[in-house]
Amino acid sequence: MAIEEFLSKVKDKSAKIGIFGLGYVGIPLAHTIHEAGFKVLGVDVDSQRVADLNAGHSPIKHIPSDVIQAMVADGFEATQDFARTTECDALLICVPTPLNKYREPDLGAVEATMRAMSPYFRQGQLLALESTTWPGTTDEVLKPYVEARGLKVGETFFLCYSPEREDPGNADFKTQTIPKVIGGDTAACRAAGEAVYGSFIDQIVAVSSTRSAEMVKLVENIHRSVNIGLVNELKKVAHAMNLDIFEVIDAAATKPFGFTAYYPGPGIGGHCIPIDPFYLTWKAREFGLHTRFIELAGEINASMPQYVVDRTVAALNQRGKSLSGSKVLCLGIAYKRDVDDMRESPSVFVMEILRDWGADVAYHDTNVPHFPKMREHHFELSSVDLTPEGLASYDAVLLLTDHNDVDYDMVRAHAPLVIDSRGRFRAAAQASPSSDADNVVVA
């Protein structure tokens, strides 16, 4: 099939689009494409995830179940059957790309997906990888699977890379309105990718190659990692100098040029910022380069859970208490405000250190009613209710993720000790300067 025939199918929306990986990226993407008028097939290896979606149940908070129900009623279907790859004209891969225990890229999910779907490749399809990875993955890992089927990339088959840019919980942007970067293996591949994504994304940003597009995603998240690492280190310095780092950053942010405000916290979480920089540090070693700046930022950010615990220990000691045996409530355990995503959440690392040091740990997070099954972390816990009596029973309350559904005035009024890693109680104290905030320690 020539590029003209492919473009025609996209233009008249007769093309069927397959989403491989139905998680925090794949589900919003499927919804956006469905809303644009295309037939969408979702493919995932998780039988429970497939069953839930086909029953109209959304597994992620920011896509309500009624949205999934409407999609299913209008023809959306989820399946575990990779043989149905052949039905689709565009194949968009949105599977996890974590690090292994040696902090090296783990493309196991990408490779497994390619092995499962490649026997069903046919002429006239577009394959686009959205998962974050190192520059060269599309060309070096995906392309051989295509060529092994006897397909000619750029002529009978089209290959692109287009990094996901989802930001769960961000009310200002959705999949359709976030500009989409696309790099193609050839000019024809790029044209095919621009046509598909341009049919449901408002702005397309084309770059010269798949490698360039892969690098774009890493640069975006390395930028955030380095700047967050900087303010996390500055927080420690400011504390030593008895300065309020949040006040300092807020004042610096009034400069109308040359400064972007980043705020400190208990670490960094999510599937991007803690992970993506190390894809580039790993690849850079192939070229004899040591990315010291990137790795230092990662070390600083990884040290923050221990810093929060150390500040908790010091605050308890000042009150004549030991961390061992103390009842500690962790307030907010998702990785960011108002989401249910637990991936790489620094709160979990704080909870593990507290548990290892003998604390009696509980948590409150309405976004995470029950502590989920995680590959490397395990707690048999459920979210506890926040009540004045319950708060008073804890030796310390650690604010780790500042969800908006929490009554912070009640927490401050009834918790004997609050360790605030987000600066939330500082804002409350400023709003009510007559209130007693002596039980608050900013960490």
Is 277 within 8 Å of 294 (Cβ atoms)? yes
Burial of 40 from C-beta contacts in 10 A (0-12 / 13-18 / 19+): buried
Predicted pLDDT of residue 434: 44
Do the beta carbons of residue 349 and residue 357 sit within 8 Å?
no
CB 328 within 8 A of CB 354: yes
Instruction: Identify the weakest region by mean pLDDT among 41-50, 361-370, 431-440.
Output: 431-440
Measured in residues, the chain has a length of: 443
Taking the C-alpha atoms of residue 408 and residue 413, their distance in angstroms, rounded to an integer, is 8
CB 240 within 8 A of CB 310: no
Confidence band for 376, pLDDT divided at 50, 70 and 90: confident
Mean pLDDT along residues 273-280: 91
Cβ 411 vs Cβ 397: under 8 Å: yes
- Report yes or no: 394 and 314 within 8 Å, Cβ to Cβ: no
Give the Cα separation of 365 and 351 in Å (integer). Answer: 13
Q: Which pLDDT score is estimated for 436?
A: 46
Q: In sequence order, what are the beta bridge partners of 364? A: 331
> Residue 142 corresponds to which tokens in the numbers above?
């995906």
**Among 100, 97, 171, residue whose Cα is nearest residue 130:** 97
CATH superfamily, domain at 234-442: NAD(P)-binding Rossmann-like Domain (3.40.50.720)
**Does residue 365 carry a pLDDT above 70?**
yes
CB 419 within 8 A of CB 398: yes
Q: What is the mean pLDDT of residues 221-241?
A: 96
Residue range 118-123: average pLDDT? 98
pLDDT band at 433, cuts 50/70/90?
A: very low
> What are the φ/ψ torsions at residue 300 (nearest 5 degrees)?
-65, -50
3-11 and 187-198 are packed helices; what angle lies between their axes, rounded to 10 degrees?
10
**Whether pLDDT at 427 is above 70:** no
What is the predicted pLDDT for the residue at 39? 97
Residues of the chain with CATH 3.40.50.720: 3-210, 234-442
Mean pLDDT calculated for residue range 36-49: 97
H or E, element range at 205: strand 204-207
Rounded-to-10 torsion of CA 425, 431, 435, 441:
20
Q: Which token pair is 368?
A: 């995470």
Distance CA 356, CA 275 (A): 25
| Residue 435 confidence (pLDDT) | 45
Dihedral of the CA atoms 215, 157, 49, 173 (nearest 10)?
50
Instruction: Give the separation between CA 14 and CA 318, rounded to whole angstroms.
Output: 69
Asked if residue 270 lies in contact with residue 225, where contact means CB atoms within 8 angstroms, the answer is: no
User: pLDDT, tens digit, for every residue of 388-401?
Assistant: 999 999 999 999 99
Predicted pLDDT of residue 428: 53
Averaged confidence pLDDT in the chain: 94
> Which CATH number is 3-210 given?
3.40.50.720
Q: What mean pLDDT is predicted for residues 242-249?
A: 94
The 10 Å CB-count burial string (b at 16+, else e) for 213-239 is: bbbbbbebbbebbbebbbbbbbbbebb
Catalytic machinery residues = 272
- pLDDT > 90? residue 429: no
Average pLDDT over residues 223-250: 95
Residue with the bigger pLDDT between 386 and 435: it is 386
DSSP string, 348-361: HHHHHHHHHTT-EE
- Six-digit token string for 136: 């060269």
Helix (H, G, I), strand (E, B) or coil at 330: strand
| pLDDT of 59 above 50 | yes
